[in-house]
Amino acid sequence: IKKAANIYIKYMKQELNGVGYTRKVTRKNESGKTVTFKSGALKKSIGYIPSKSQRSLTGYVGARSGKRAGKTFDGYYASILNEGRYGNGGNVRGKGWANRAYDKGQRQTEIALRNEVEKILNNTLLQLANS
């Protein structure tokens, strides 16, 4: 799943060219602490996010935020740039970059997943046949 997810990651990062801040931005967060967001933070935060369930074959591709993000690349404003919404009813025009990346990579990801599942099944069948 992670190998197939790399296709979406590539397209999401391509779609982010020219979207978002191009400079350092300093803001005060809810607790009043001054936080500096560096340019390129959203692009760096795009990655594979495994499912919390150990038994699930599910994974997510998107902007990591919070604990998963690390100190240097927080993608907290990914949904703001994609959907065009910003707290308390304010409006920001959405860019739709994640939706475009999904559309571009959908077919290739399906093919990659099918190939990976085929490899796993073939290896399992060979192991069962040899034992």
Q: Distance (Å, rounded) from C-alpha 94 to C-alpha 103?
A: 17
pLDDT higher than threshold 60 for residue 89: no
Give SS3 for 127: helix
Decide: 100 and 81 in contact? Cβ < 8 Å. Answer: no
**Side-chain-side CA neighbours of residue 24 (13 Å):** 5
What's this model's pTM, rounded to 2 decimal places? 0.65
The per-residue pLDDT for 15 is: 82
The per-residue pLDDT for 43 is: 79
Closest CA to 98 of 82, 74, 77: 82
Give SS3 for 10: helix
> 99: pLDDT confidence band, cut at 50, 70 and 90?
confident
The per-residue pLDDT for 13 is: 86
